């Protein structure tokens, strides 16, 4: 089957140019001027539209148990929401439920493969370290899982000690794996939470006040030092503070292989949101910060210090006692109301996988703060490169998967839950005026979204085996 997209403006991380694009057997087969294909099943006139690579979101949590409930998007609803926002590849996380890492991966795939509607990959969390775990980490490569994640927070649940993180980094280096770091100071957080609750400080703002920015910066420095000593690459997830960006700049100036990610919530909201009457909606970890932190994060993106924008998508209902209509069915899942009297019991996480590209296009490209090419680099190409997907994903080149978004730069909407397809009862960007929006989305050459209508299906996506980390990346 062939599809010919005519007269669009092709946008890659490197350049933009007017051209036609031919899709054949799920791949991009040609890009050029005045292409003609008699056998094309369909010809699409993209005059006035941008032709973008599908977004790559390398940080999502789907169907994740937490705080006595479960994140409200599963592998179908979450990937469908991604597609409506123009994202066609996501990477989820495998929890370490046992020392048998390969079995953990197989169990998640058995659940996800039949549900995903866009392509996906997996990271492996390493949350307790044994001799068996150490032996299994290198075997992940053969399963196409080429990244692992460690934590310096969540004591007695997810956290590894520094010596254990150092061991993991060395094993990962030898196997060609990229290690991801959640950087917060778990000891400091536990102490401050204990003191806050003793003083009866239970409202959402105390979530931020008990997870201070300097704790995140200190943990990043410690993690980066371990990585440098281990001669291993490190990817710092959801960067959120000025201090983290400053430390990242120091690392890169000294040619240390440390890479940074941030998320839309840290760019567009502050901890002031937590003082609203509905502040629980903005509870995530790490927490939202200050305007000063925001400014430095934007600088980090513009100067190339921060390489990617992901979402850390992990949605929960705001009021899980009140059902919503979803796909014509009443559904309610326990959510943030669980912590109405105690901020520590509020499930940590936000919806975002479908919001990322439309909201950021307005904030970055429509505003003229970034070019469309910089936008594609941060949301598609760079994450694909770092996580072993490029050039199959994240760009538009002959031979790449035909994950394509036809983007109308002039389309204006008032965004919110009426557009977003997350399976939850609120949207962080309710009422925001956006200019620029996806109008058609293709996954592996198949149309899955057109003008707000869904044409995909559960199981329509595929698990992608990723390549090992490329140490030549800059």
Instruction: For residue 20, tell me if it sits in a domain.
Output: no
Instruction: For residue 190, tell me if it sits in a domain.
Output: yes
The two three-digit tokens of residue 182, written as one number: 């959640």
Flag whether pLDDT at 40 surpasses 70. no
Tell me the residue range of the domain where 143 lies.
Answer: 55-373
Q: Check if the beta carbon of residue 62 is closer than 8 Å to that of residue 75.
A: yes
Flag whether pLDDT at 173 surpasses 80. yes
Flag whether pLDDT at 474 surpasses 80. no
Question: Residue 17: what pLDDT?
Answer: 98
Q: What's the burial of 329, exposed, middle or buried (CB within 10 Å: 0-12/13-18/19+)? A: exposed
Instruction: For residue 102, tell me if it sits in a domain.
Output: yes
pLDDT in tens, 55-96: 999 999 999 999 899 999 999 999 999 999 999 999 999 999
Domains held by the chain: number = 1
What CATH number should be reported for the domain holding residue 173?
3.20.20.140
Q: Check if the beta carbon of residue 247 is closer than 8 Å to that of residue 260.
A: no
Instruction: For residue 335, tell me if it sits in a domain.
Output: yes
CB proximity list for 311: less than 8 A, separation 6 or greater: 57, 59, 60, 263, 264, 350, 352, 353, 355, 356
Query: 34-48, 266-280, 331-345 — which is least confidently predicted?
Result: 34-48
* pLDDT band with cut points at 50, 70 and 90 for residue 23: very high
- Alpha-carbon distance values, 273 to 19, 45, 207, 278, 282 (Å): 44, 43, 12, 8, 7
Go through the chain and tell me how many residues it has.
474
Question: Residue 413: what pLDDT?
Answer: 98
pLDDT in tens, 104-124: 999 999 999 999 999 999 999
- Alpha-carbon distance values, 110 to 252, 284, 300, 423 (Å): 40, 28, 39, 22
pLDDT in tens, 362-408: 999 999 999 999 999 999 999 999 999 999 999 999 999 999 999 99
Question: Residue 473: what pLDDT?
Answer: 84
Instruction: For residue 4, tell me if it sits in a domain.
Output: no
* % of the chain exceeding 90 in pLDDT: 97
Tell me the three state secondary structure of residue 16.
Answer: strand
Q: How many CA atoms lie within 13 A of 29 on its CB side?
A: 15
Mean pLDDT of 22-36: 94
Instruction: For residue 127, tell me if it sits in a domain.
Output: yes
Instruction: For residue 115, tell me if it sits in a domain.
Output: yes
Flag whether pLDDT at 38 surpasses 80. no
Flag whether pLDDT at 37 surpasses 80. no
Question: Residue 107: what pLDDT?
Answer: 98
* % of the chain exceeding 70 in pLDDT: 100
What's the chain's average pLDDT? Answer: 97
Instruction: For residue 384, tell me if it sits in a domain.
Output: no
Mean pLDDT of 434-450: 98
Question: Residue 347: what pLDDT?
Answer: 97
**What's the rounded Cα separation, in Å, for the pair 380 and 393?**
8
pTM of the shown model: 0.98
pLDDT in tens, 232-243: 999 999 999 999
pLDDT in tens, 459-472: 999 999 999 999 88
């Amino acid at each position: 089957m062939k599809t010919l997209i005519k007269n669009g403006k092709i946008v890659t991380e490197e350049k933009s140019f007017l051209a036609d694009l031919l899709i054949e057997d799920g791949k991009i087969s040609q890009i050029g001027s005045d292409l003609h294909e008699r056998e094309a099943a369909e010809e699409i006139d993209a005059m006035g539209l941008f032709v973008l690579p599908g977004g790559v979101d390398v940080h999502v949590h789907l169907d994740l148990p937490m705080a006595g409930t479960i994140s409200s998007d599963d592998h179908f609803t979450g990937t469908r929401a991604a597609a409506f926002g123009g994202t066609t590849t996501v990477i989820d996380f495998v929890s370490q439920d046992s020392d048998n890492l390969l079995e953990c991966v197989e169990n998640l795939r058995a659940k996800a493969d039949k549900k995903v509607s866009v392509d996906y990959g997996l990271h492996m969390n390493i949350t307790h370290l044994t001799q068996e775990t150490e032996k299994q980490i290198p075997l992940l490569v053969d399963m196409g899982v080429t990244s692992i994640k460690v934590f310096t927070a969540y004591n007695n649940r997810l956290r590894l000690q520094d010596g254990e993180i150092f061991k993991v980094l060395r094993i990962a280096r030898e196997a060609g794996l990229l290690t991801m770091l959640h950087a917060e100071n778990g000891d400091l957080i536990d102490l401050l939470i204990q003191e806050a609750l003793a003083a009866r400080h239970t409202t959402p703002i105390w979530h931020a006040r008990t997870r201070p920015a300097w704790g995140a910066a200190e943990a990043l420095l410690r993690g980066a030092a371990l990585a440098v000593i281990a001669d291993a690459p490190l990817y710092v997830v959801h960067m959120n503070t000025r201090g983290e960006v400053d430390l990242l700049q120091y690392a890169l100036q000294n040619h240390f292989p440390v890479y940074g990610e941030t998320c839309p919530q840290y760019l567009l909201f502050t901890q002031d949101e937590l003082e609203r009457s509905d502040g629980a909606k903005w509870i995530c970890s790490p927490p939202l910060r200050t305007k000063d932190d925001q400014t430095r994060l934007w600088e980090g993106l513009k100067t190339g210090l921060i390489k990617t924008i992901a979402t850390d998508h992990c949605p929960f209902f705001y009021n899980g006692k009140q059902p919503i209509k979803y796909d014509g069915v009443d559904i309610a899942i326990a959510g943030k109301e669980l912590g109405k009297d105690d901020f520590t019991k509020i499930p940590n996480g936000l919806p975002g996988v479908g919001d990322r590209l439309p909201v950021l296009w307005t904030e970055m490209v429509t505003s003229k703060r970034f070019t469309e090419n910089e936008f594609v680099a941060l949301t598609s190409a760079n994450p694909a490169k770092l996580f072993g997907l490029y050039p199959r994903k994240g760009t538009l080149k002959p031979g790449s998967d035909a994950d394509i978004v036809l983007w109308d730069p002039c389309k204006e909407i008032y965004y919110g839950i009426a557009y977003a397809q997350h399976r939850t009862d609120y949207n962080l960007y309710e009422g925001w005026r956006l200019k620029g929006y996806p109008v058609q989305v293709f996954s592996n050459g198949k149309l899955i979204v057109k003008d707000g209508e869904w044409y995909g299906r559960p199981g329509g996506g595929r698990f992608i085996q990723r390549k090992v980390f490329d140490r030549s990346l800059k």
